[in-house]
Amino acid sequence: MNANERPDRDEPDERERSSDVPDWWIYRGTGQPLHDGVRLDQLLPQPPPWRRFPGALLADNDAPPEDEGETERRLGIQQFASPAMVNPHEVDMVNAALYLRRPLLLTGPPGAGKSALAFQIAKELRLGRVIRWHITSNSTVKSGLYNYDAIGRAEAIATRHASGDEAGPAEQIGDFVRLGPLATAFLPSRLPRVLLIDELDKSEIDLPNDLLKIFEDGSFQIPELERIASHTPEVAVFTDDPDRRSTIAGGRVTCSAFPVVVMTSNGERDFPPPFLRRCLQVDIRPPDVEKLTAMVAAHLGREHDDELRHELIRDFAEQSERAGGIPADRLIDALFLSTSGAYARDAASWPRLKDALWRDLKAV
């Protein structure tokens, strides 16, 4: 199968059959996963020469780990969006990032659905668990790459010596190295991993530029493992994936499939031009009434009071527009309270509760 053919999907509905889907789209934004047995690496063409990375293929990394329900918690139960709800520019940019092996930078107000896009991509392209790196003011590239517990290792060596155990400490170093989310995403594999770097604008000023080296090189070193490579060339270390290890050879990691990097920003700061030049940028706008309705159905089903639901969705959309954007999960919270039976909706308390849930976050 070549990259210009439309990928096989699970049985589509009539609306998708009649839609004019560009031939070059692999990701379509409808939520319909690739057909069983079809992999992304079978659909994508080779990367541009300047985006090819020589990492080895490791058999134990060929199948990305399952997400253990996280995608369903984020996106709700499986709902296929109609082609009319798909934002063509957004889907264009996701596909461009896939073809060019470039990171995506998503900007927009909180709650607009920026981080949800990473889970949508992973679900539709069958890329397994999304690797998440939540950025804080203390985040550095090294903290995203790996942590080496030197104190813990020294204590373990001392304990072994005290007990008369003659095992060499170099053989145990992998027990004290854990790869972070950034490093785990760049481990060599046949399929790219989806890496969500959330709220990048919370970082220190140097982090975006520091990320450029690994984005351009597709590789990094672990000095603690490089120093012992002559007598311990391979070391199995922990990764960001639960209950998984990976073997590092010579203290260096080089990706073979560049990860699908999705970075989000709430627009609280500007990024340096060199960083922006190497990213594909997408502005994510708050969902409209149609998308809000689909989101509510995905999380709460369709069995509740439609009249109440439509009323609340319209009210929320109007208040969100006046406030410049309110996180959409506040709408789902309000609907759950009003329809679950746990809360008695009445004329006195409901307006107060709704106002508290839908308060303009910028005013807090």
Q: What is the CATH number of the domain that holds 186?
A: 3.40.50.300
Of 243, 268, 283, the position where a domain reaches its end is 283
Structure tokens at 318: 């109007």
Same domain, 216 and 194: yes
- Domains identified in the chain, total number: 2
Determine the pLDDT at residue 63. 80
In this structure, the answer to whether residues 154 and 249 fall within a common structural domain is yes
Within a domain: 2: no
Domain that holds residue 223: 14-283
Residues 35 and 19 in one domain: yes
- Residue 305 has a pLDDT of 54
Whether 71 and 124 map to the same domain: the answer is yes
Q: Identify the segments of the chain with pLDDT beneath 70.
A: 1-19, 57-61, 78-79, 164-171, 302-305, 339-348, 360-364
Q: Is 257 in the same domain as 301?
A: no
Same domain, 310 and 246: no
What pLDDT, on the 0 to 100 scale, is given for residue 166?
62
The answer to whether residue 81 is domain-embedded is yes
pLDDT at 363: 47
Task: Provide the edge-to-edge strand list for the sheet that holds 260-265.
Answer: 131-134, 194-198, 260-265, 104-107, 280-283
Are residues 141 and 74 part of one domain? yes
146 and 250 together in one domain: yes
- Which of 270, 310, 261 shows the shortest CA–CA distance to 105? 261
Whole-number Å distance between alpha carbons of 179 and 146? 4
- 180-213 pLDDT, tens digit per residue, is 999 999 999 999 999 999 999 999 999 999 999 9
Domain boundary among 283, 314, 331: 283
* Cα dihedral 290/293/297/303 (nearest 10): -120
User: Does residue 298 form part of some domain?
Assistant: yes
Whether 263 and 302 share a structural domain: no
Tell whether 210 and 354 lie within a shared domain: no
Q: Is residue 7 part of a domain?
A: no
Q: What does the pLDDT read at residue 295?
A: 84
Task: Write down the pLDDT at residue 285.
Answer: 87
Paired with 248 in beta bridges are: 235
> From edge to edge, which strands make up the β-sheet containing 219-221?
146-148, 177-179, 234-238, 245-249, 252-254, 219-221
| Per-residue model confidence as pLDDT tens digits over 157-187 | 888 777 766 655 555 899 999 999 999 999 9
Q: Which two tokens stand for residue 266?
A: 């709430």
What is the DSSP code (8-state) at residue 82?
P
Quick one: 238 and 331 in the same domain?
Answer: no
Question: Does some domain include residue 301?
Answer: yes
Report pLDDT for 110.
84
pTM: 0.86
What local confidence, expressed as pLDDT, does residue 2 receive?
46
Q: Euclidean distance between the first and final Cα of the chain, in Å? A: 53
| Domain membership flag for residue 72 | yes
Asked if residue 102 and residue 60 are part of one domain, the reply reads yes
